[in-house]
Amino acid sequence: MTTRGIALRESDRSFRSWVWPPPPIAGRLWLAVVGSTAYAAAVWAVHPADLASLPTWTTQLAVVNTAILSLLISFRTKIAYDRWWEARMLWGQLVNNSRNLCLKARELASLDATERRSFAELVTAFPVALARHLREVPDPTETPGAATPAQVAGKVIAVVAGWRAAGRIDGHSHQMLDAHTSALMDVCGACERIRNTPLPTSYLSLLRHGLVFGFLLTPWAVVQALGPWVLPVQAVAVYFLFGIELTAEAVEQPFGSDGDDLPLAAYCETIRKSAEDIL
């Protein structure tokens, strides 16, 4: 294939990825769409063709359920995204804090090449330990409990305290560095709060009950007017409503390894490169 042909194929793939990017939740979402569409097909198949109309309360109930769902979904989406965005801000704070810590250590403590390299390794080790901690992934190269964020932060604090004890930095410089060393565990604690505080179960139960109830009721409410068109209507409704719920479920815990989670490995790499560049 010519270079032009390869370029055209890559351009077509990029265009299709932009127009119709597959969501990370696609597997579970398509199962819900197929199942609900099959249910709608069954409703259409058994619905009496000579039935004049269904009771008006079925349509009214479907409308009321949709209104309630819109409120619950709006609340659910906002809370889930706020949690994701707060986690992103915390890791951005960790990046900036690590850079400032390295810059001030370099200028205030007059480190030699070996000390710079050692301190850069310590600063780099903290985000890696934090990512493993948040994802509850053990480090196979370490003994159990050896690479926790608290232990890495403790080593950083001990190094700075050692500089103060040796007279390499004065009290004011120690306070400047201590603000950044303390911030390491502040970020860790805030991330733990997000991970360990899920949305209250009652909200999730009400939303999911409403979704299931709506998917079961809607075909009966509209099949008389739509006929076989009830199938695509049901599929589209389930795709977006259930898709929003699955997306919210994914992003409310932003420290995992799914496509909607934060790229923690990339943030760790950013801190590593910054530490090496500065020190």
Q: Which pLDDT does position 14 carry in this prediction?
A: 60
- Measured over the CA atoms of residue 87, residue 89, residue 95 and residue 97, the dihedral's sign is negative
Distance CA(222)–CA(70), nearest Å, equals: 19
Span 17-31, average pLDDT? 74
- The more confidently predicted of residues 239 and 220 is 239
- The more confidently predicted of residues 4 and 129 is 129
pTM equals 0.80
Q: Please, which pLDDT band fits residue 13 given cuts at 50, 70 and 90?
A: low
Q: Please, which pLDDT band fits residue 102 given cuts at 50, 70 and 90?
A: very high
Contacts of 255-260 with CB under 8 Å at 24 or more apart are 255/87, 255/131, 255/134, 255/135, 255/191, 255/194, 255/195, 256/135, 257/135, 258/24, 259/23, 259/24, 260/23, 260/24, 260/25
Q: Which pLDDT does position 115 carry in this prediction?
A: 92
Q: Please, which pLDDT band fits residue 143 given cuts at 50, 70 and 90?
A: very low
Span 154-163, average pLDDT? 94
Mean pLDDT in the chain? 83
Q: Please, which pLDDT band fits residue 139 given cuts at 50, 70 and 90?
A: low
Does residue 240 carry a pLDDT above 80? Answer: yes
- The more confidently predicted of residues 60 and 248 is 248
Span 161-187, average pLDDT? 93
Distance CA(273)–CA(76), nearest Å, equals: 37
The residue type at 133: H
Q: For residue 229, give every residue at least 6 positions away whose Cβ sits within 8 Å of its Cβ, in sequence order, or none.
A: none
The percentage of residues in the chain with a pLDDT greater than 70, rounded to a whole number, is: 83
Cα separation values, 86 from 67, 137, 150, 190, 251, Å: 29, 22, 21, 9, 11
Q: Which pLDDT does position 201 carry in this prediction?
A: 84
Range scoring the smallest mean pLDDT among 68-72, 167-171, 235-239: 68-72
Q: Please, which pLDDT band fits residue 15 given cuts at 50, 70 and 90?
A: low
